[in-house]
Amino acid sequence: MAEADPPLYFDAHVFVCCNRRAEGHRRGSCAAAGSEKLRDYMKARAKELGLKRVRVNMAGCLDRCEFGPAVVIYPEGVWYRPQTEADVDEILSAHLVAGGRATRLMLTEKDVPPPKS
């Protein structure tokens, strides 16, 4: 961050990939893996928890389709793969409320797409 940058507008900005590809695409897609419902759930739960400087948004293809539903939280740049509402709760409580990590659900630097064929 440069010295003259304005303060962060959101303390945590969450992006949930909601890209949908046709059934049978070799890479799959986050929407096909259920990301849209998880995004809706996350938005609603963040509101219920009163997380005021947190924003949850849908996003286009984040290009980690094989490891989706893909979620990234900035400014930390930490990626998660929630597959159930319980997973979303775990990310909310561990990361967004407590400021830690939901370690079990994190993507790592090894989670990269296979080379284009």
Task: State CA 2 to chain mean position distance.
Answer: 26
Compute the chain's Rg from CA coordinates.
15
Alpha-carbon distance of 59 to 116, in angstroms, equals 22
Task: Name the strand (E) or helix (H) holding 22.
Answer: none
When the beta carbons of 97 and 107 are compared against a copy of itself, the nearer one is 107
> Taking CB under 8 A as the rule, does residue 113 contact a copy of itself?
no
When the beta carbons of 7 and 24 are compared against a copy of itself, the nearer one is 7
Binders of a copy of itself among residues 71 to 110 (CB under 8 A) are 72, 74-79, 100-101, 103, 106-109
Q: Which positions lie near a copy of itself, rule CB under 8 A?
A: 1-2, 4-10, 13, 15, 55, 57-64, 72, 74-79, 100-101, 103, 106-109
